[in-house]
Chains A and B, each alone.
Chain A
Amino acid sequence: MSAAAEERSARAPWALTAPALMLFVGVLLIPLAMTVMLSFHDWGQYKGIEPVFILKNWHEIATDPYYAEMFWRTFRIAILTTLLTALLGAPEAYILNRMSGRWKSFFLLVILGPLLISVVARTLGWALLFGGNNGLVNKLLMSLGAIRSPLPFMFTETGMVIALAHVMMPFMVLSVWAALQRLDPQIENAAMSLGAGPATIIRRIVMPQIMPGVLSGAIIVFSLSASAFATPAIIGGRRLKVAATLAYDEFLNTLNWPLGAAVATLLLVALVLIVVGSNALIERRYAEVFR
């Protein structure tokens, strides 16, 4: 290659990515930096936002137990949602994978399709199913004899976890499904020919191999649940606040933008640390699988 051509090929990738890079710096990185700065500004009912540098908002979040309780609720809901999707989604992915061709693609479509359907519509469905004391879920549970009196689902954490788990389930199934595709079915056959029973095969052969899939699915589900807005807002109502709905209230109802920005910044930092940390852990633990 001539020197001129070499220089051109060194410049080409930058010329091609420059527009997108400028877009991202201009309207993603700068607004994010502005939000972090906003969280250090002062705010008053009458004076509005004052561009000074103070730690008032951070101090309020650190000392007022209301915020500790709210963040704890946010992460509790996210953890329970993650557990529920893992416990139900992983076996379902395994069952799906053992189905024959046409059924497999049909049910995969049925389970993954909702991923692309409006979250508002899906949560509305749960609000209808839960709906008051004579919602369908309660009627079904009572006719099955599982419960005697109707359980409250609307405006409770239980209801939020169920609806969120439904919204997030496709991510878990997809992630475990991807791990199952890498699994060699001959290993299961080999284990069986050596006398292993179904339970042993699942515990000793399948589980260890799909674990990375379950864990990376768990990271996706956790981070999306911890920052979810539509489902907590509709099922949780106005009183049961999580981080995203609280930030929304501070911004659009109370108009205390600096405090809302501090809540959002804290959520972002916490999630990035958790996601990056657990990704690193998983990759170290399962280095051989990712190679």
Chain B
Amino acid sequence: MRRNGPLALIFHTIFVIVMVAPILVVCLVAFTPEGFLSLPTNGFSLRWFRTIANYPEFIHAFWVSLGLGALSSLVALLFAVPAALAIARYRFRGRDALAALFLSPLMIPHVVLGIAFLRFFTSAGLGGSFAALIIAHVIIVFPFALRLTLAAATGMDRTVEMAAVSLGAGGWTLFRRVTLPLILPGVISGWALAFIQSFDDLTMTVFLAAPGTETLPVRMFLYIQDNIDPLVTSVSACVIAITMTALILLDRFYGLDRVLAGKGDTGR
């Protein structure tokens, strides 16, 4: 009964091929030995990966993306962890409204956020600065950081905390020695998912980045606008490899299904 028929399996095979094809073709073209876009039919070459070294703007953009992702996810957690604890533990007036506000960046189109932040930071005299990028990224990754922390805080065993309190722990000690270690898997996964979101964002960042603060997706996008050549495929292949590594770590550490389930219902 619970078996797929041959038609279903053919459908499934085509579906998977189509899903993988664009990603695979980027990675394959990146290894071409030719000077133009082509599949590597005459052997593989690392030529275009070496060429990246001649484009310091890509390397700089990579470091900007890495720093931006790491920092903004960390800052987002500093705000999200206390908020998640409050939402998980207390029933108070305005709780649902607050939760909706904190998740709202998922519903607002990133192009609108980009415009709003561009207007805001330009009037504040921070246009194009790294600080502006950090603040903007904190807002867009906040829902992801909040959600995974919230899931950990909701599922936490409160009796351990009560035991600690009965033994005289309180305030900061209670949080640092008992609560935080218990929710840490959720917090770290929240950080990782937030990092990936920040690392991949183009739509909002393209409004805010200036030469010098361009992130890797922005740099790639601006490059593709002018011409598509094997260089941008090798850069993309590197980005794909980095994301895959993060994915595998996330899967080992927390279970990818739980992470993706958190990402899935963005519209609600």
Q: Using CB atoms and an 8 Å cutoff, list the residues of chain A in contact with chain B.
A: 9-10, 12-14, 16-17, 19-21, 23-24, 27-28, 30-32, 34-35, 38, 88, 91-92, 95-96, 98-99, 105, 107-129, 131, 136, 163, 166, 169-171, 174-175, 178, 185, 188-189, 192, 198, 216, 219-220, 223-224, 226-230, 233-234, 243-244, 247-248, 251-252, 257, 260-261, 264-265, 267-268, 271-272, 275, 279
Of the candidates B118, B123, B232, the one whose C-beta lies within 8 Å of that of A124 is: B232
Q: 8 Å CB contacts to A: which residues of B195-248? A: 196, 199-200, 202-203, 206-207, 217, 220-221, 224-225, 228, 232-233, 236, 239-240, 243-244, 246-247
- Residues on B with C-beta less than 8 A from A257 are 119
- Residues on B with C-beta less than 8 A from A224 are 266-267
- Residues on A with C-beta less than 8 A from B101 are 21, 24
Q: Is the CB of B247 within 8 A of A116?
A: yes
Q: Is the CB of A171 within 8 A of B109?
A: no
Q: How far is the CA of A62 from the CA of B89 in the complex (A)?
A: 48
- Residues on B with C-beta less than 8 A from A122 are 22-23
Q: How far is the CA of A13 from the CA of B80 in the complex (A)?
A: 13
B138 at the interface (CB under 8 A from A): yes
Nearest residue (CB) in B for A242 is B111
B156 at the interface (CB under 8 A from A): no
B59 at the interface (CB under 8 A from A): no
Q: Is the CB of B202 within 8 A of A229?
A: yes
Interface size, B (range): 35 or more
**B131-162 vs A, Cβ < 8 Å mask (1 yes, 0 no):** 00001101100100000000000000000000
Q: Is the CB of B82 within 8 A of A17?
A: yes
With A12-B90, A34-B120, A116-B247 as known contacts, state yes or no: A251 contacts B202, CB within 8 Å.
no
**B84-105 vs A, Cβ < 8 Å mask (1 yes, 0 no):** 0111011010010010011011
- Residues on A with C-beta less than 8 A from B37 are 128, 131
Q: How far is the CA of A257 from the CA of B20 in the complex (A)?
A: 39
* Shortest CB distance B39–A (Å): 8
Q: How far is the CA of A91 from the CA of B15 in the complex (A)?
A: 10
Which has the most chain B C-beta neighbours within 10 Å: A17, A127, A169, A229? A17
Q: How far is the CA of A127 from the CA of B221 in the complex (A)?
A: 13
Q: List 8 A-B contacts (CB under 8 A).
A: A13-B90, A124-B228, A216-B265, A223-B107, A226-B109, A227-B203, A257-B119, A267-B112
Q: Is the CB of B109 within 8 A of A244?
A: yes
With A13-B92, A264-B112 as known contacts, state yes or no: A113 contacts B228, CB within 8 Å.
no
Q: Is the CB of A13 within 8 A of B95?
A: yes
Nearest residue (CB) in A for B228 is A127
- Residues on A with C-beta less than 8 A from B246 are 116
Q: How far is the CA of A127 from the CA of B23 in the complex (A)?
A: 11
Q: Is the CB of A98 within 8 A of B206?
A: no
Q: How far is the CA of A235 from the CA of B3 in the complex (A)?
A: 39
With A17-B87, A128-B37, A192-B1 as known contacts, state yes or no: A120 contacts B236, CB within 8 Å.
yes
- Residues on B with C-beta less than 8 A from A116 are 196, 200, 243, 246-247
Nearest residue (CB) in A for B12 is A95
Interface stretch (choices B41-49, B66-74, B180-188, B253-261) = B253-261
Q: Is the CB of A118 within 8 A of B217?
A: yes
Q: Is the CB of A268 within 8 A of B109?
A: yes
- Residues on B with C-beta less than 8 A from A117 are 23, 200, 239-240, 243-244
Q: Using CB atoms and an 8 Å cutoff, list the residues of chain B in contact with chain A.
A: 1-5, 8-9, 11-12, 15-16, 18-26, 29, 37, 78-80, 82-83, 85-87, 89-90, 92, 95, 98, 101-102, 104-105, 107-112, 115-120, 123, 135-136, 138-139, 142, 196, 199-200, 202-203, 206-207, 217, 220-221, 224-225, 228, 232-233, 236, 239-240, 243-244, 246-247, 251, 256-257, 260-261, 263-268
Which 8 A-B residue pairs are closest in the complex by CB-CB distance? A125-B22, A227-B109, A220-B267, A31-B120, A16-B86, A31-B116, A174-B264, A13-B90
* Shortest CB distance B25–A (Å): 5
Q: Is the CB of B19 within 8 A of A128?
A: no
Q: How far is the CA of A20 from the CA of B83 in the complex (A)?
A: 7
Q: Is the CB of A34 within 8 A of B123?
A: yes
- Residues on A with C-beta less than 8 A from B79 are 19-20, 23
* Additional 8 contacts, C-beta under 8 A, given A13-B89, A120-B224, A279-B267: A9-B90, A98-B8, A117-B240, A126-B22, A171-B266, A230-B221, A233-B225, A243-B111
